[in-house]
Amino acid sequence: MTPLHFNTLALHAGYNPKEHGHAGVPPIYQTAAYIYDDAEYPADLFDLKKFGYIYSRINNPTQDVLEKRITALEGGTAALAVASGQAAQFLAITTLCEAGDNFLASEQLYGGTYHQFSVSFKKFGIEVRFFDPAHPEEILKIADTKTKAIYVESIGNPSGFIPDFDALKILKEKLGVPLIVDNTLCTPALFRPLEVGADIVLYSASKYLGGHGNSIGGIIVDGGKFDFGASDKFPGFTKPSEGYHGIVFSEVFGKNFPLGNIAFAIKARVEGLRDFGPCISPFNAFLFLQGIETLSLRMDRHIENARKLSHFLETHPAVTQVFSAENKNSPLADRAKKYFPNGSTATFSFILKNGKSAGKHFVENVRVAVHENNLGDARTIVTHPASTTHRQLSEEEQVRCGITPGLIRVSTGIEDIRDIIADFEAALV
């Protein structure tokens, strides 16, 4: 059969109605546990000798369809759906790192990610070392034998910075570590990081994948390209597992596994998800499946509206700068065209001339757009990051993340663009 195209996969991948009572839409399996016919079958499941449903903290049939669909859309080997984007980050890093290890991260990050990395991981003995993504060569200066990963966002939130993925691919190969890319702002409809050298892709599914601001969830995609058994750098993959009777993940589920190299995804599920427990709700998994069905259609409209809105803001006297790679005069326009030929993202930021007071007035006076700290919704959303998403960061950290008092982040929705522009014009001072 000829391989299916993206929009078809978004509707059909990972689901066989015959396996689910011939239901036309993937059902919601609202169950905590599963009944076994005998004693041998669950023993094989718990020993990882067979794949099946054990407990909904670890896996669930609705979750399984979502994971298979995202895997198909990304071109990976396996995926793991979890409770939130923050949970996806946590499981990805803790699957790779142990106490005493470190990982390298772009300083152009969402505020919650920056805080998790710089504050919370200290409690686990895991160190983050930030680098300026505009100068990826810094990576070689701050890496050492304990470095286990490089982490970037496909487009910085809210700075809009686009990394040089060609350079990152070379650097991660020199260090022998996986490249992790948070692709939340682009989605696989616009960008597939695995095709430019990424090994692991993360999502806050709460954003564009779901698209309607009604669910919280996260996704980890295993690209299946990184060989964790190639060296002793990742003992969690090459040494016997204490929790599974001495199983070696890189040997059993690595490059020679019949279903492809899924060692990372398996370890994240059966150790990280099992023990830390950030499982996704079956109902939320169902809602994400619904959102993904219209992903391409929505992203086309999001991008079209974002281009027109950013062009309007560029010429407005109250605005000093617009950070959108969709604008032809952006210093990142060539890089955006290279990596995102179908458009980059509908989330961008701009700086108001009169600073914080103007920002306060703007978010309090929009009427069509909503003022909240989400993004990727069908509705246009405006956020003042210095007061919300990056509030916990110091002023110095905010500057490193590209945050200034007058900066506004806008997640352009799918409303009539004439109404969005009129709304912004009325609220700007």
pLDDT given for residue 41 in this prediction: 96
- What CATH number should be reported for the domain holding residue 380? 3.90.1150.10
The reply to whether 194 and 300 lie within a common domain is no
The two structure tokens encoding residue 50: 């067979």
The reply to whether 222 and 348 lie within a common domain is no
The reply to whether 26 and 137 lie within a common domain is yes
Where in the sequence is the domain holding 328, given as residue range(s)? Answer: 296-427
Query: Looking at the domain assignment, is residue 176 inside a domain?
Result: yes
Q: What is the DSSP string of 223-247?
A: -S---TTSSSS-HHHHS--GGGTT-
Q: What is the DSSP string of 23-67?
A: -SS------SB---SSSHHHHHHHTTSS----BTTT--HHHHHHH
Answer with the one of 291, 315, 349 that is the final residue of a domain: 291
The reply to whether 124 and 248 lie within a common domain is yes
Per-residue pLDDT tens over the stretch 311-326: 999 999 999 999 988 7
The reply to whether 216 and 190 lie within a common domain is yes
The reply to whether 235 and 312 lie within a common domain is no
SS3 content of the chain, % helix, strand, coil (to 5): 40, 15, 45
Q: Is the peptide bond before 405 cis (omega within 30 degrees of 0)?
A: no
Task: Tell me the mean pLDDT in the region 122-136.
Answer: 97
The reply to whether 217 and 366 lie within a common domain is no
Task: Tell me the mean pLDDT in the region 121-146.
Answer: 97
Task: Tell me the mean pLDDT in the region 271-278.
Answer: 97
Answer with the one of 275, 291, 307 that is the final residue of a domain: 291
Query: Looking at the domain assignment, is residue 317 inside a domain?
Result: yes
pLDDT given for residue 240 in this prediction: 97
pLDDT mean across residues, the chain = 95
Confidence of residue 265 (pLDDT cuts 50, 70, 90): very high
pLDDT given for residue 403 in this prediction: 72
Query: Looking at the domain assignment, is residue 165 inside a domain?
Result: yes
Query: Where on the phi/psi map is residue 16: left (φ > 0), alpha (ψ -120 to 50), or beta?
Result: beta
Please give the C-alpha separations between residue 161 and each of 142, 180, 215, in angstroms, as whole numbers. 21, 16, 27
The reply to whether 274 and 303 lie within a common domain is no
Confidence of residue 275 (pLDDT cuts 50, 70, 90): very high
The reply to whether 224 and 329 lie within a common domain is no
Whether pLDDT at 1 is above 70: no
Task: Tell me the mean pLDDT in the region 369-388.
Answer: 90
Closest residue by Cα to residue 351 from 391, 301, 385: 385
Q: What is d(CA 183, CA 203) in angstroms, rounded to the nearest whole number? A: 6
φ, ψ of residue 110 to 5 degrees: the values are -55, 140
SS3 152: strand
Query: Where on the phi/psi map is residue 213: left (φ > 0), alpha (ψ -120 to 50), or beta?
Result: left
CA terminus-to-terminus distance, the chain: 58
The reply to whether 267 and 404 lie within a common domain is no
The answer for residues whose C-beta is within 8 angstroms of residue 172's C-beta and 6 or more apart is: 150, 178, 179, 197, 199
Task: Tell me the mean pLDDT in the region 185-209.
Answer: 98
When divided into structural domains, the chain yields a total of 2
The reply to whether 110 and 256 lie within a common domain is yes
The reply to whether 348 and 400 lie within a common domain is yes
The DSSP H or E segment spanning 115 is helix 111-118
